[in-house]
Structure 1
Amino acid sequence: MLARVAALALTVNVVLLVSAVAMDYVGYQCGGNIKCADSWWMSPFRMASVASFPGRRILLGAVVPLLLLVLLAVLTYRTQRRYESVRPPGNPGPRQPCVQNAASLEGGLRNLDFWNTGPYTRYLGKIHIAAGLALLALMIATTVHGTLESAPGMRIQEGRSLAPEWLWSGSVWIAVAVLVVAVLAVIPEKVIGPLRWLGLILTVPAIGALLLAGAMALLEPAMMAVVPNAMTPHELPGLRPVMNWVYGGIIVALLLVPVCLIAAALDRKKPLRTVQLVVVAAALVGMYFMLDVIDRPYGWVIVALIVAIGIIVVGVVNSGRLTAFRWGAPFIVLTIAFGLANTVLVGLIVRVADTLGEIKYTFAATEPVPDSGRIIAVFPVISDVAAYLIFEPVILVLIFAGWQAIRWWRAGWSKPAKAIADEYYEKEQPLPDDRGWVASTVKLNGGAFNPDWATPEMRAWPGRVSRARKVAEMPRDLDLLFTSIVVIGILLFAWLEMHIWADDIRRPSPWVASLGTAIATLLPLAVLLLARAGWQNPNTRRVIGVLWDVGTFWPRGYHPLSPPSYAERAVPELQRRMWFLHDSGAQILLAAHSQGAILAAAALSQDGPDEVRPTGMKVVLATFGSPMRKLYRWGFPAYFTDELTQSLLPQNGTTSIWRNFYYLTDYIGGWIVNEGENSIDKKLPDPPTCQFTYGDAPPRIGSHTGYWKDPAMWQEIDLIAPRPG
């Protein structure tokens, strides 16, 4: 429930910042400056019926966030038609006349309705759009009202009548009511009866509030400068209190998630509970003292070093026995989502303001600036956020990468490399060619390479294999990086807020803020360049497709405006294909690599009555490079459980035989049922041999993609493959 509330807060956050850019910097400030509005794309703001009317300029700027909401609504509707509307084969739909979140279904992935969540996604989508429209109406009404009362250096032209007061109060109260009801509407996991129409019902008053705010903006009188031919640069009046209240709600929604997680942790019976509470209390005290350290010279360097040491210590202590994300995954992921969205949008704010004119970090300039100047006033806190909150994750990523690079380098030293050489030497077969054409990369006698024919590449081969195995262990350390980014980000945010409330803001150097916003602006640009490269290069497009599949596996049960879940179609279509083959009398071999193994597990693990699923269907399942335990059990332990694994076993589920192949060098896949050799898991050597034809390259490391060319694996699959008759 709290995750859904936080997801709604993320939508509100994005609408808030996009609206601030368009309504304040473009519409209000630049649109009211003759020199700033001289560009061709600013021509609507130069019209006589708009230029002297701040309310109309604000309303014109509000078209941008309104179009964004319309675009999101259209994309959500179209993707729901293409993905969520695909019904599982033979599934008559929910057993009860209700709309339910997939995350709350009994049995998780095994529930027949897990991939039938279109109604709930549509319900949440309408609520998010209604909340975005309500926030936009609130911002228009509040800022237009603010220009009438508190615009520095401006006054109302005589002979103009004001808009009725009820337009302002009506739009504000309706918008606030819609936002409150929207928060309450995302709480239930099961929506019964007339409540299914609540999202659509909320959209009506949200549009009404938007119309009232628009009417108020159109009826606002013209404004003129107190000093002719001069202007006082200032932020849009009324915007600051809206942002304070909205961000206050966002922080509360976000921090309620760890509160819930702590309460759940305290409810569990563990013998070390007292020790854990003492450690948490000590960490909080340490964070408090860190706030004082930050203010000292090179304070952030000290904090970064402390975090780096903490990352290394926790990583070393937990190495080899990690089974799941260490703690607080929902809070960590949500916070990173907020941080990334705000980082990109804050960078956009500064870049837009810098493009329109010269940035002045102030609420309102103390002296008028000649009309020939193109000054854009920007909230001072944006400078701090751009400088600190952007560099903080970059520094921590570099620290984390440096630590992992040291681990990788040490894995190639003589002792680990010798262990690899000994392992392959024990399994090495006699050289098949006595003429010397076939060579070996490991010791032949006594543990040393033959100096007469061993090349540097051959000498480095055991170290390369050892380093590849070390790389395979690294992905599950990412939670250390994510957690450190969140903890230091919260600490930094608290430090900034402390100085803001004390009116003692430590201004960073201008070049630091400029570089930080440049980095933030490059993030969406990098995404666009990657998409363009994928359009031109099939290999890049394949990589993008894999990342998209992994990132959009789960149903949209929390944020309905996120990219569509491709598994909403892939899983039912895979089931329908297998059921068709079975009903046609065919025998089925399902070979699944990487993410395909997750699709196979989702498709085969669903249980149901005979009238829903074909009776007697048995599938030979071969998975290789499967992230089922290594990553999915690590990140989603509530869904990838022992029960799910047991349901796939031949004696329990729809499989007649199941083999899972994995390499120790695979950074994605691994064992599933039990570490080591068993009836399901089959560890393959990688590289498969240490021998090669002298003069060629030494045996290649397959890692995650080498399964397709591994003859040993395909020989095993040939043995278990179903045969006619």
Structure 2
Amino acid sequence: MLNDPRTVRVTGDDIAAVFRRADDVDAERHPTPRRDGPIPEAYVWCNLTSGNGTRALWLLLLPFMVVNLAHWMRPTARNRPRTVRLYGVLVRLAGLSLTVLLVAAACEVALDLAAWQCAGTGACAARHSWLGFLSPEMSDGGWWSSPGRRLALAALVPTALTGLLWYLSLRTWSAYESQQPLTADPGAGPGEGDTGTALGRPGFWYGRRLGARLRAAHTAAGLLTVAAAVGSAAARHDREATDPAVPALLGALLEAALAAGAAAVVWVVCRRGRAERRPDGALDTHLVRWLPLTALALLLLSVLYAGWERPGWESAGRLPGDETFGALALAQGLLVIALGCAARVLHRSDPDRRAALRGLAGPAVAMLACALGGVMSGGVAQRVADWLDGTGTTMPGPPVLLTWQASVIPPLLVLLLVLAGWLARRAWLLAREERAAVARDYPGEQADTARTRRIAYARALAALTDRGPRIVAVTSGATLLLGAGALVGALVTDRTPGEAAGGSYAVVHGAAETAQALGSWLIGLGFILFVTWGRRAYKDASARRTIGILWDVGTFWPRAAHPFAPPCYAERAVPDLTWRIATWTQETGGRLVVSGHSQGSVLAAAAAWQLPPATRSRVALLTYGSPLERLYGRWFPAHFGPEALARLHREADCWSNLYRLTDPIGGPVRLSGDEGPAVDRPPLKDPLAYGRTRAHPLPAPILGHSDYQADPAFAQERRRLLARLRPEVPAPRHTGQSSAARDQGSSGRSSP
């Protein structure tokens, strides 16, 4: 970024910091007449988003990240505060259902498949010696062979998983997201005026109170799920036993306590959303402390209740999981439908023609999150059952619904292949149309068919990004229908098992069994590829660019709907930039240019919105390869809509945006010059030269999203912004001498 091997960290730490050239460390205090140009600075936050290879494990929490995105995809709304609150409640409930689903899947694997079914079957336990001490036949009736004690021991696995999620959420918040926002002391504080977007509110990047509440509620929900899985089996046995060793009343009281705990968790999740008009730092100490502890106490009571000796109790069939997973699937479907209705009402109150899916992007993405959770749960359960059972004749296997959810994977892959074919055909048609445009953009050049085809194809591939909403709509709709089909299929199979094997059900049953077996193997393969690809993304720059688009967008937003989602890097990066800009302008009285590439342009805009109006008017923006309108404006209209970007254009000193037609991520901001000079410059040529020239004796590469600094237009545009700033730049107050404008970079890939 600084184009100098001698760099010095002027502020920050090993996670994120601001760097300067060694010669520029004290440039404001000791100006030199030899300097011609700005003082460049680079803000680097790469360790917040990449770090070491273990960060790839965060990809396993992808459903949580995706449902958190749905919260921020709310349409722009006018005079609909109740509907806005309802939208937030529905997304938070969908996030809560995913936590329960994940822990329930862990209970299914550890409690039902391993401890209940396999350990309770001599043939299965004989194949897996590590389960021998739990088997009544292998251990000759040892202490752990009782079904309730086996369940109590296996409950350690989902309990440890819940504890790990709680610990990671707490630790990452303390490390990355606990940065205090800018106060009134360094400057005038964050802008109190209306910036047209919630990103300008003082408490937007500091939601400590809601984060702690959600973390406590989701932790309690996970512990209560484990308690229900352990205690419900014992309670069912006591109700059905003619002479129960433990009174059935105790089981009924325990189940009532668990139901009350679940109601309390739902109330906590629904009761309060984000408070952004001020830093939300006060904690609900009693609730945050006692809700998880109460759930843990109920779990211990469930373990003690299930571990009581019950003569004659044998583990037969499955644990009562069919009803649980069926209720979760039905609840998620109803939540998504209700969310779609709320989003539609909000969109109609303030229509935005550029909004993705006409305001239904949030419900569609929430559906994908639920589908990811269901497919991962069903596939893993089916794969573990196949591994434990071997021939598939000694165990009942996972709940019917989970096997049906695993069967959804093959048709879904077929649909994705069809969509890939449609995109390929669309790219081919667009490339044919672009050939004429390429000839017009390079007049007087000797035609080269292969060169023209490569440039046209690069432009066509870049244009496919704008087809993303259609892909999401088709995939989301298909997953909703397939999920409903899996629910109906599980219900029919469970109620009519005899008929399902023959008669009119024979064809459907055979196809379902084939899809279930194939889906089971595909989910195992996909899990391995998922982790491998994710780890490779943090070692290979090209692979990281591929995954980094979704990852950068997903972890940019605060954890407002799910506390176990990967941490938000912007809650550290935006305060860093805001503090640096405000303190420097106050100390020197100067002006500066904030330049950002790709996601750096989003951080630059977010930081500018957080500045006081007086400070914001002293800042110029230079963005390039920017997804501000093309991605964020369409998918997050309530926060990056036309009104918010137009107001930023008016209140910043000046703003210039560069983009290429071959860039699949960056694009125009689409702000006219009504409020001043137009933001967008004409599209940059890519490649810089069509054929060989004196300036480019070798073929010029097609750069796409990278190396904007290589284009002469970049330096020209920066000089234009600096020239506009320079006549009004005062001397630093403590030197008494003239000083050039300081140029602050805000991207790890850009030259300031």
The two structures have a TM-score, normalised by structure 2, of 0.73
Q: Which runs of 5+ in 2 are unaligned?
A: 1-88, 187-193, 501-507, 727-738, 741-752
Partner Cα distance (1:535, 1:670) in 2: 26
**Higher mean C-alpha displacement, 132-141 vs 562-571:** 132-141
Q: Is the 8 A contact 1:233 1:377 kept in 2?
A: no
Letter paired with 2:115: G
1:25 pairs, out of 81, 92, 113, with: 113
2:478 pairs, out of 485, 488, 492, with: 488
Q: Is the 8 A contact 1:624 1:662 kept in 2?
A: yes
Residues 119-138 of structure 1 show CA distances to partners (whole Å, capped at 9, x for unaligned) of: 21111110111112112212
Letter paired with 1:9: S
Partner Cα distance (1:257, 1:547) in 2: 22
2:585 pairs, out of 570, 582, 585, with: 582
1:591 corresponds to:
595
2:168 corresponds to:
75
Q: Label 1:402 to 1:664 Cα distance change in 2 as closer, same or farther (>3 A).
A: same
Q: Label 1:384 to 1:172 Cα distance change in 2 as closer, same or farther (>3 A).
A: same
Q: Label 1:570 to 1:219 Cα distance change in 2 as closer, same or farther (>3 A).
A: same
Are 1:528 and 2:553 an aligned pair? Answer: no
Q: Map 1:451-470 to 2 at 5 A.
A: 458-470=448-460
* CA displacement at 1:463 relative to structure 2: 2.4
Q: Which runs of 5+ in 1 are unaligned?
A: 94-103, 226-231, 271-317, 361-372, 429-441, 444-448, 450-457
Partner Cα distance (1:358, 1:336) in 2: 32
Residues 259-287 of structure 1 show CA distances to partners (whole Å, capped at 9, x for unaligned) of: 3234446x6499xxxxxxxxxxxxxxxxx
Q: Is the 8 A contact 1:588 1:620 kept in 2?
A: yes
Partner Cα distance (2:535, 2:284) in 1: 43
Q: SS in structure 2 opposite 1:682?
A: coil
Q: Label 1:536 to 1:697 Cα distance change in 2 as closer, same or farther (>3 A).
A: same
Partner Cα distance (2:703, 2:328) in 1: 50
Are 1:189 and 2:266 an aligned pair? Answer: no
2:341 corresponds to:
259
* CA displacement at 1:539 relative to structure 2: 5.1
* CA displacement at 1:109 relative to structure 2: 0.6
Q: Map 1:364-383 to 2 at 5 A.
A: 374-383=394-403
Letter paired with 1:624: Y
1:452 corresponds to:
none
Q: Map 1:193-232 to 2 at 5 A.
A: 197-223=286-312
Q: Label 1:616 to 1:495 Cα distance change in 2 as closer, same or farther (>3 A).
A: closer
Q: Is the 8 A contact 1:55 1:144 kept in 2?
A: yes
Q: Map 1:308-457 to 2 at 5 A.
A: 322-358=354-390, 360=392, 374-387=394-407, 389-413=408-432, 416-425=434-443, 442-443=445-446, 449=447
* CA displacement at 1:566 relative to structure 2: 0.5
Are 1:638 and 2:663 an aligned pair? Answer: no
Partner Cα distance (1:374, 1:128) in 2: 36
* CA displacement at 1:707 relative to structure 2: 1.1
1:507 corresponds to:
509
* CA displacement at 1:357 relative to structure 2: 1.4
Partner Cα distance (1:581, 1:590) in 2: 13
Q: Is the 8 A contact 1:137 1:213 kept in 2?
A: yes
Q: Is the 8 A contact 2:625 2:660 kept in 1?
A: yes
1:624 corresponds to:
624
Are 1:679 and 2:681 an aligned pair? Answer: no
The two structures have a TM-score, normalised by structure 1, of 0.76
Q: Is the 8 A contact 1:7 1:559 kept in 2?
A: yes
Q: Is the 8 A contact 1:52 1:223 kept in 2?
A: no
Q: Is the 8 A contact 1:663 1:669 kept in 2?
A: yes
Q: Label 1:42 to 1:249 Cα distance change in 2 as closer, same or farther (>3 A).
A: same
Q: Label 1:645 to 1:16 Cα distance change in 2 as closer, same or farther (>3 A).
A: same
* CA displacement at 1:11 relative to structure 2: 1.1
2:735 corresponds to:
none
Q: SS in structure 2 opposite 1:681?
A: coil
* CA displacement at 1:88 relative to structure 2: 1.5
* CA displacement at 1:167 relative to structure 2: 3.2
1:720 corresponds to:
721
1:133 corresponds to:
223
Q: SS in structure 1 opposite 2:357?
A: coil
Q: Label 1:70 to 1:246 Cα distance change in 2 as closer, same or farther (>3 A).
A: same
2:658 corresponds to:
661
Q: SS in structure 2 opposite 1:592?
A: strand
Letter paired with 2:582: W
Residues 593-613 of structure 1 show CA distances to partners (whole Å, capped at 9, x for unaligned) of: 001000000000125487xxx
Q: Is the 8 A contact 2:656 2:679 kept in 1?
A: yes
Q: Is the 8 A contact 2:217 2:268 kept in 1?
A: yes
Letter paired with 2:206: N
Q: Label 1:12 to 1:539 Cα distance change in 2 as closer, same or farther (>3 A).
A: same
Q: Matched residues, percent identical?
A: 29
1:87 pairs, out of 172, 175, 180, with: 180
Partner Cα distance (1:246, 1:62) in 2: 20
Letter paired with 2:362: P
Residues 106-162 of structure 1 show CA distances to partners (whole Å, capped at 9, x for unaligned) of: 941111111011221111110111112112212211122234566xxxx99xxx972
Partner Cα distance (2:326, 2:631) in 1: 39
1:243 pairs, out of 307, 318, 325, with: 325
2:610 corresponds to:
606
* CA displacement at 1:623 relative to structure 2: 0.5
Q: Is the 8 A contact 1:356 1:376 kept in 2?
A: no
Partner Cα distance (1:648, 1:261) in 2: 26
* CA displacement at 1:344 relative to structure 2: 1.3
1:108 corresponds to:
198
1:52 pairs, out of 136, 139, 145, with: 145
Q: Label 1:243 to 1:133 Cα distance change in 2 as closer, same or farther (>3 A).
A: same
Give RMSD over aligned pairs: 3.3
2:8 corresponds to:
none
Partner Cα distance (2:685, 2:239) in 1: 75
Letter paired with 2:430: A
1:283 corresponds to:
none
Partner Cα distance (1:190, 1:687) in 2: 46
Q: Label 1:112 to 1:378 Cα distance change in 2 as closer, same or farther (>3 A).
A: closer
**Greater relative contact order, per chain length (Cα 8 Å cut-off, separation 6+):** 2
Residues 471-519 of structure 1 show CA distances to partners (whole Å, capped at 9, x for unaligned) of: 2221232222222222223223333444544436532444432221222
Q: Label 1:536 to 1:12 Cα distance change in 2 as closer, same or farther (>3 A).
A: same
Q: Label 1:669 to 1:353 Cα distance change in 2 as closer, same or farther (>3 A).
A: same
Q: Is the 8 A contact 1:123 1:197 kept in 2?
A: no
2:68 corresponds to:
none
